[in-house]
Amino acid sequence: MQTAEEYSKIISLHFAPEVVRKPMMYNLAKKFDLTFNILKAKISPREEGHMILELSGNLEDFKKGISYLQEHGISIRDVAQTITRDERLCTHCGVCTALCFNRALSLDKVTRQILFNDARCTACSNCTRICPVGAMHVESNGES
Ligand code: SF4
Ligand code: SF4
């Protein structure tokens, strides 16, 4: 079961040619207990690597993992995405709250409405995949 400390973010990695063949992703999982979902990966003709991935895990481990990558010369950028909710479509069914590890979506116990706090949202897009009525939208703005 995921805990409140779980964190998830989509990031873009750029590897120098000398790092491309190192098992960085394997180490990330093994040393820091992080999981990742590779959304895009390519190696340029000059053998530089570029990867966009969703990285998830305990927040403290997440920070350590990012530091580890940076210490090995990998440059990291956030992928600029904005998540919006179409208030006309949302039925407040609550399905999305189970997959929002950053607690940007939560139940208001008084009104029984699902609150969306976009300040906590890291644009992992879990909710956009699970929402049965397509109320959550992702707007991709490229890399920040
Ligand atoms: S899953 Fe969709 S419809 Fe249900 S509360 Fe979340 S945003 Fe609203
Ligand atoms: S609101 Fe959606 S996109 Fe934002 S953190 Fe929660 S699950 Fe991820």
Instruction: Give me the mean pLDDT over the 113-126 stretch.
Output: 85
Q: Is the pTM of this model over 0.95?
A: no
**Pocket-testing residue among 120, 127, 129, ligand 2, by greatest number of atoms within 8 A of Cβ:** 127
Q: Residue 77: CB partners within 8 Å, gap ≥ 6?
A: 11, 12, 14, 143, 144
Q: Say which DSSP state 22 is in.
A: S
Higher pLDDT, 124 or 55: 55
- The H or E element containing residue 1 is none
pLDDT tier, 140 (very low <50, low <70, confident <90, very high otherwise): low
The alpha carbon of 130 and the centre of ligand 1 are apart by a number of angstroms equal to: 8
Instruction: State residue 119's pLDDT score.
Output: 77
How many domains in the chain?
A: 2
The alpha carbon of 16 and the centre of ligand 2 are apart by a number of angstroms equal to: 31
Which ligand lies nearest the alpha carbon of 9? 2
* Domain ranges, residue 31: 6-79
Q: Are residues 51 and 86 in the same domain?
A: no
Q: Are residues 75 and 18 in the same domain?
A: yes
Q: Are residues 38 and 58 in the same domain?
A: yes
Angle at 39 between CA 62 and CA 11, to 5 degrees: 35
Instruction: State residue 121's pLDDT score.
Output: 81
Of 27, 58, 79, the residue at which a domain comes to its end is 79
94 pLDDT more than 60: yes
Q: Are residues 74 and 86 in the same domain?
A: no
Q: Are residues 85 and 75 in the same domain?
A: no
How far are the Cα atoms of 43, 82, 85 from residue 124, in angstroms, in the given order?
24, 10, 14
